[in-house]
Amino acid sequence: MMFDKLIGNEEAKARLGRMAASGRIPNALLFAGPEGVGKKEFAFEFARLLMCRAGGCGTCSICSRIGKVEIPKPEKGEDFDRVFLSDHPDVGLVVPYKRNLRVGSIRALEREANFRPFESERRLFVIDDAEKMNDSASNALLKTLEEPPATTDIIVISARPDSLLQTIRSRCQMIRFVPVEARSIETFLRSSGTYSAEDAALASRAARGSVAKALSLDLEWFRQMRGLLIDVIRSAILTGNIATMLQISEQVNDPRNKDLFEESVDILQSLIRDTLAFQKGSSDLANPDLADHFREFADAVETSTIERWNNEIEDMRLNLFVNINRKVAIDGLFARMAA
């Protein structure tokens, strides 16, 4: 049945379902919402709903070819000046090359959008990470949206819809996506058969609403890093052992963990917030399995101190945007925590 493989976002499912059933499909939709909740999968599922003769059965040749798209490894930008068609020739995807959604890819979309459908009654194109369009790409898209070919639907996907041109947004009907509830992710992970109950619980809470993140999270790394960061808080509050903190700073900055730096900062912040929550008597913890630690910390530190740390982390995040050295930033944070 339709949407049954997708997790959460029931309201979006219901709206898209009604839209498909009514047959009144807007030429342009904007799927707006956080990373990793499955917006692209929803877009392909919507295409199945529109194109499958059984209303999105999920098993026929049409359904199974929609969404099968091969994207090459990024080598040179020109390779991305095109629409990547799925195995179904009326469904295609435009994606950024590195940090840019190139004007060439939007122009290619415009050409494809003007072709008559090959197999279906209509064609459907998905633009992923639309906030990565520069001005010329945005203007090219705007031009396409202003004169929409009757048989083509465009789905614009963005985690930062506010950074799109207002004129683009106003031509799209917006479908809002929200973070997926941890409980739904946990149920999904358990039903996959590859997660123990304990791992499913841990990954679903660490995912903060993103199914993609739950699936890609390296739990071994996560457990280890979380343990180290608990030691950081312990050192700051209980032992005052700065040497330990600086050692852990090295590990957070290990080049092998380069892509996990922000994730490490997220973990530290979740531990600090849990300590704060514990002090305020809340049982809504991101890391309930570590409650014993939070109890110990909560008794030993002032709420104002924990709140200050939380603010320090927010400040550090802003500074990281402007390319401050990560090692300097995290050393500084730990030093201020120990002060």
Binding site for Zn ion (CB under 5 A): 52, 57, 60, 63
Report in angstroms how near the CB of residue 54 gets to Zn ion at its nearest. 5
CB count within 10 Å of CB 266 equals 16
Q: Which is nearer to Zn ion, 90 or 186 (CB)?
A: 90
Q: Report d(CA 289, CA 5) in Å as an integer.
A: 29
Q: Report d(CA 22, CA 229) in Å as an integer.
A: 52
Q: Which is nearer to Zn ion, 63 or 329 (CB)?
A: 63
- Biggest CA–CA distance in the chain, Å, is 71
- Residue 268, both tokens: 């530290």
Query: Strands (DSSP E) along 45-109, which ranges?
Result: 84-85, 91-94
Q: Which is nearer to Zn ion, 53 or 176 (CB)?
A: 53
Report in angstroms how near the CB of residue 152 gets to Zn ion at its nearest. 21
Report in angstroms how near the CB of residue 3 gets to Zn ion at its nearest. 13
Report in angstroms how near the CB of residue 25 gets to Zn ion at its nearest. 17
Q: Which is nearer to Zn ion, 45 or 186 (CB)?
A: 45
Cβ(105)–Cβ(77) below 8 Å: no
Q: Which is nearer to Zn ion, 67 or 96 (CB)?
A: 67
194: left (phi over 0), alpha (psi -120 to 50) or beta: alpha
Report in angstroms how near the CB of residue 126 gets to Zn ion at its nearest. 18
Query: Strands (DSSP E) along the chain, which ranges?
Result: 28-32, 84-85, 91-94, 123-127, 152-158, 173-176
